[in-house]
Amino acid sequence: MEAYLELLFRWGHFLAGIAWIGILYYFNFIQAAYLKVVTPEAKAEAFQHLVPNALAWFRYAALWTWVFGILLLLTSKEYSLGEAFLFQGDSKVIGMGAWLGTIMFFNVWMIIWPNQKKVLGMVEVLAEEKPRAARIALLASRTNVVLSIPMLFFMAAAGHAPAGLF
- What tens digit of pLDDT does each residue of 12-70 get? 999 999 999 999 999 999 999 999 999 999 999 999 999 999 999 999 999 999 999 99
C-alpha to C-alpha distance for 97 and 109, rounded to whole angstroms: 18
- Measured between alpha carbons, how far is 80 from 75 in angstroms, rounded to an integer? 8
CA 122 to chain centre: 22
Residue spans of alpha helices (H) in 76-128: 81-85, 92-106, 113-119
- Label residue 72 by pLDDT band (50, 70, 90): very high
Q: What is the DSSP letter of 48?
A: I
Q: What average pLDDT does the segment 3-16 reach?
A: 94
Cα 21 to Cα 35, 60, 98, 146, 157: the distances in Å are 20, 12, 15, 11, 17
Distance (Å, whole) CA 67 – CA 4: 17
Most confident of 8-17, 73-82, 152-161: 8-17
For the segment 100-129, what is each residue's pLDDT rounded down to a tens digit? Answer: 999 999 999 999 999 999 999 999 999 999
